[in-house]
Amino acid sequence: MKTMWLLLLWGVALPVFAGEGKWTPQQVLELDPAWLKAQGLKLPPQRLWDPKRGTGLLAGTVNVGGCSGAFISSSGLVITNHHCVFSIVQEHSSPQRDLISQGFLAQNREAELPGKGARILVPRAFTDVTKEVRAAVPAGADDLVRFKAIERQQKELVAGCEKRPATRCQVASFDGGSQYVLVDSVELADVRLVYAPPRAVGEFGGEEDNWMWPRHTGDFAIVRAYTAPDGSAAQYSEKNVPHKAEFFFPLAPQGVKPGDFVMVLGYPGISFRGLLAEEMADRQARYYPRVIDVYGESIRVLEEEGAKDAAGKIAVASTLKSLHNRAKNASGQLAGLARGRIVEKQREAEAAVVRWAEKRPAHVGALRAREDLLTGLKEEARTWDREFLLGNLRAGARGVTLAATLAQLARERVKPDMEREPEFMERELVRLKDQFEREQKNLFVPAEKRLLQAFVRRAQALGPGERIAAVDKHFGPTFSEKAVAAKADAMYGATKVLTLNERMAMFQESEAQLQARQDPLLAFGLDLATELTALDEVKDRREGARQRLRPEWRRAVLAHAGKPVAPDANGTLRVTFAKVQGYSPRDGVFYTPQTTLSGVLAKHTDAEPFDVPEKVLASAQAKRFGPWADAALKDVPVDFLADADTTGGNSGSPTVNGKGELVGVNFDRVWENVANDFGYNPDVARNVNVDVRYVLWMLDQVENAEGLLRELGVRKGPSVTGEGR
Ligand code: ASP
């Protein structure tokens, strides 16, 4: 009966724009099936998601360390982005065997390369726990108590859920606390690299092409998940066997053409469409410009220092890549917010809700909630600069972050597990330890020192109400280039935090042991940690207020909308419905939605980031297309655009056709669409995908990966289960 009502209520109300909405699996069933069919969905929506079992084809979409990915065979093969499994390639690369430049193809199963710390999460169940979470808040709780009660309840739900072996759970909050869902996933911990293209394919165009169109990047890689012989998830072992995937997406060798319907499935991380206009304006006025400024300074330092030293250049490469990505994203957000008049539009939309709610007694509480959210925003402004600096330590010297984290860990570990900050609970420590080990390859002392100086200079410039006491204590209250440089030299000269085995020993030590080391960087870290913890409490209280206020406001927004509204991204499984199509980025220009191998050749310059590898060049120049050319393009398609509603975290998302077959792999958005995090604009909302035919062309015409092609079912012959490659 309830479902009936939902269908009647929502069945006629369609999304405003076809592509808009990162729908939850449950919501897919609330959309009008006739509308979905008209869009191009050839499967009954229940095939995508069976509410009784709480699973379906959507569950073939997996989480790969914060990226997305998809099973593409019943024997555990997963396709994702090259940049998502880059650390496995890096782990097995050496100057003698440079897999990063050359790429890697496992000639048989034994040759597949295990990835240390690589994990794949396969969704198993989603349970609404809103009632349980709400009930945990004691009557009359103040905002900090509210936050802590909700956090505690989340931890307990997670602990209960994780009693099952090899299970990873999370309580996800939707619409600012309007709904809470317990997400239960199987954690596959034996993940092995099967294929990675050369970096010059996987990252073709580098930073220059990042967030842009036209694009010619082969940003894909293939891994395989393994389990114990009885099918249960297990750590790496030679005895393990390929994971039997219940749901997977077969490849569609015919690919796509303009106008085709596609779905992009994945784990979008965060978006901000549910924010108030003023909250958006705040991010526009303050947050993104500061990211560009602070991250930009770090980029300059790393580039300058890297240029002086070959090993240093390698060490800073991965940090540089992520800083560039964030900084360019921030510029894209600003450009898009201005171009799309997104804040202004949100103001108008909000005013309409306010007018509507004023006339409805059931929603007057929303008006008050909105006012209180705005007051909170103003209060935050007073210490914003300080909090930005402390909240973005990772953009600076890594040694400082390591030292502060060691201090926090030592202080948290003495508490009962349930009372620790979530990131220091037992369930996180294996990951944290891995990270502490892996960090070694990113450390480069000359760059570290300069980044520390930059941080200190910014901290010393803060106003009287925003001082960072740890900086004042260790570096004095005013900036002197010479004094700070000398102090940074002394700290890095004496510290053991950057020495791997010492750091791993510190990882286990108590606060007293850390103090006793009299390590100057650790001493700074210990003082900084005190401030980070105090700041956490301030932030928790604020978040408690938002948890009280936001649901009230959002209830009015949703009621006013009178149709299904997809919640903001929160790292949980979503699907977006889209069409392959180009767009006009500006007056007089139209971008077609497909690029080709000829385009790769046209960009080739012999120099990074447009240096096409020899073996790719040879096949492309000889026009050895095999069966992978597109009839209309008369060429092998490389990348394509669709109007799917994606964001960061959707990297590696399977892009599938109406029958649920893989036609591409999502890896980016276009420049004009970076600000879709704040609002969907159908004119420029385009995501960028690698065409499945480029994947197949690479495997076939460049790599001769016969066994893999057979396993993927696109080449006749024995072996569809990964045997005998
Ligand atoms: N490149 C992004 C990612 O890494 C995808 C996007 O932002 O559209 O998830």
What's the CA gap between 464 and 568, in Å, rounded?
A: 37
pLDDT-derived band of residue 52, with 50, 70 and 90 as boundaries?
confident
Catalytic residue at 94?
A: no
> Could you tell me which residues come within 8 angstroms of residue 550 by beta carbon, excluding any fewer than 6 positions away?
175, 176, 177, 178, 274, 369, 373
- State in Å: Cα 326 to ligand 1 middle: 10
User: Which of 80, 326, 576, 647 is the pocket-test mutation for ligand 1 (most atoms within 8 Å of CB)?
Assistant: 647
For residues 222 and 665, give the distance between their C-alpha atoms in angstroms, rounded to a whole number: 11
Atom of ligand 1 lying closest to residue 649 CA: 9
Question: At 127, which amino acid appears?
Answer: T
Q: How far is the CA of 362 from the centre of ligand 1 (A)?
A: 40
- Distance (Å, whole) CA 443 – CA 429: 21
Question: What pTM did the predictor assign?
Answer: 0.94
Mean pLDDT of 510-538: 98
**Of 480, 502, 481, 488, nearest to 446 (Cα)?**
488
pLDDT at 723 over 60: no
Choose, from 83, 474, 560, 604, the residue flagged as catalytic: 83
**Conformational region of residue 42, where left means phi above 0, alpha means psi within -120 to 50, and beta covers everything else:** alpha
Find the mean pLDDT for residues 500-511.
98
What is the pLDDT at residue 514? 98
Bridge partner list, 225: 191
Q: Which residues line ligand 1 (CB under 6 A)?
A: 646-651, 667-669
**Which residues does 171 contact at the CB level (< 8 Å), separation at least 6?**
129, 133, 153, 154, 157, 158, 180, 181, 182, 183
Residue 645 has pLDDT above 80, yes or no: yes
* Tokens 């808009």, located at residue: 20
Copy the structure tokens of residue 225: 């998940």
What's the pLDDT at 554? 98
For residues 594 and 260, the answer to whether their CB atoms sit within 8 Å is: no
Backbone angles phi, psi at 113, to 5 degrees: -105, 115
Nearest alpha carbon, ligand 1 atom 2? 648
12 pLDDT band, cuts 50/70/90, is very low
Residue 721 above 70 pLDDT?
no
347 or 3, higher pLDDT: 347
What φ, ψ does residue 480 adopt, rounded to 5°? -135, 120
Report how far apart the first and last C-alpha atoms of the chain are (Å, whole number).
52
Residue 2: pLDDT above 60?
A: no
Catalytic annotation on 219?
yes
What distance separates the 2 farthest-apart alpha carbons in the chain? 75
Round to whole Å and give the CA distance between 725 and 723.
6
Q: How far is CA 500 from the centre of its chain?
A: 28
Range list of H helices, 283-397: 288-307, 310-339, 342-358, 364-381, 384-391
- Whole-number Å distance between alpha carbons of 673 and 583: 11
SS3 at position 566: coil
For residue 67, the ligand 1 atom closest to its alpha carbon is: 9
Tell me, rounded to whole angstroms, the distance of Cα 258 from its chain centroid. Answer: 28
pLDDT of residue 53: 80
Strand spans (E) along 432-478: none
Q: What angle do CA 86, 249, 111 make, to 5 degrees?
A: 45
Mean pLDDT of 538-562: 97
Q: Quick count: other Cβ atoms within 10 Å of Cβ 246?
A: 13
The pLDDT value recorded for residue 146 is: 98
Is the separation of the CB atoms in 667 and 688 below 8 Å?
yes
- Which ligand 1 atom lies nearest to the CA of residue 84? 4
Reference 652, options 332, 320, 249, 209; nearest CA is 249
Say which residues have a Cβ less than 8 Å from residue 148's Cβ, sequence separation at least 6.
540, 544
Nearest C-alpha neighbor of 394 from the set 481, 470, 318:
318
pLDDT 10s digits, 652-686: 999 999 999 999 999 999 999 999 999 999 999 99
Atom in ligand 1 nearest the alpha carbon of residue 646 = 8
Distance 13 CA to ligand 1 centre (A): 30
Instruction: Note whether 120 and 234 are within 8 A (CB).
Output: no
* pLDDT, mean of residues 44-55: 86
Q: CA–CA separation, 69 vs 702, rounded Å?
A: 23
Q: How far is the CA of 331 from the centre of ligand 1 (A)?
A: 15
Joined tokens for residue 486: 């000398």
The pLDDT of residue 64 is above 70: yes
Question: pLDDT category, 15, cuts 50, 70, 90?
Answer: low
Mean pLDDT, the chain, integer: 94
Q: How confident is the model at residue 55 (pLDDT cuts 50, 70, 90)?
A: confident
Q: Are 682 and 694 in contact (CB under 8 A)?
A: no
Of all protein residues, the one whose alpha carbon is nearest to atom 1 of ligand 1 is 668
Q: What is the pLDDT of residue 717?
A: 66
Residue 204's pLDDT band, with cuts at 50, 70 and 90, is very high
Pairing between strand 104-105 and 113-114?
Answer: unpaired
Question: pLDDT digit string (tens) for 159-193?
Answer: 999 999 999 999 999 999 999 999 999 999 999 99
How far, in Å, is the centroid of ligand 1 from the Cα of 275?
Answer: 21
- 81 CA → ligand 1 middle, Å: 10
> Residue 132 carries which DSSP code?
H
| Spatial contact of 181 and 171, defined as CB atoms under 8 Å apart | yes
Is 515:338 a contact under the CB 8 Å cutoff? no
User: Catalytic pick from 651, 653, 668, 677?
Assistant: 651
Helix axes 500-508, 426-438, angle to 10 degrees: 170
Query: Cα of 176 to ligand 1 centre, how many Å?
Result: 23
- Given 143, 209, 219, 630, the catalytic residue: 219
606: left (phi over 0), alpha (psi -120 to 50) or beta: left
Task: Write down the pLDDT at residue 539.
Answer: 97
Distance between Cα 687 and ligand 1 center (Å): 9
Query: Ligand 1 centroid to 206 CA: how many Å?
Result: 14
Hey, which residues does 575 pair with through a beta bridge?
Answer: 23, 265
Q: Is 270 left (phi over 0), alpha (psi -120 to 50) or beta?
A: beta
* pLDDT score of 719: 52
User: Which atom from ligand 1 is nearest to the alpha carbon of 81?
Assistant: 4
Structure tokens at 507: 């990882």
CA of 350 to the centre of ligand 1 (A): 29
Q: What is the DSSP letter of 568?
A: P
- Quote the tokens at residue 161: 């859920």
Choose among 597, 615, 643, 629: nearest CA to 703: 615
Buried b (16+ CB within 10 A) or exposed e, 366-379: bbebbebbeeebee
Task: List, for residues 225-234, the tens digit of each pLDDT value.
Answer: 999 999 999 9
Ligand 1, pocket-test mutation among 651, 669, 673, 689, most atoms within 8 A of CB: 651
Helix (H, G, I), strand (E, B) or coil at 627: helix
What are the structure tokens assigned to 72, written together? 């593409």
CA of 453 to the centre of ligand 1 (A): 31
To test ligand 1's pocket by mutation, which of 669, 678, 690 has the most ligand atoms within 8 angstroms of CB?
Answer: 669
- Confidence at 592, pLDDT banded by 50, 70, 90: very high
The pLDDT of 268-280, averaged and rounded, is 98
Which numbered atom of ligand 1 lies nearest the CA of 211? 1
Place of tokens 């784990």: 267
3-state secondary structure 110-162: HHCEECCCCCEEEEEEEEECHHHHHHCCCCCCCHHHHHHHHHHHHHHHHHHHC
Model confidence at 242: pLDDT above 50? yes
Distances (CA, A) of 539 to 133, 179, 273, 423, 492: 20, 21, 21, 15, 31
Question: 692 and 219 in contact (C-beta within 8 Å)?
Answer: no
pLDDT at 725: 42
Ligand 1 atom 7 nearest Cα: 648
DSSP 8-state assignment for residue 283 = I
Confidence at 724, pLDDT banded by 50, 70, 90 = very low
**Cα separation of 379 and 282, whole Å?**
12
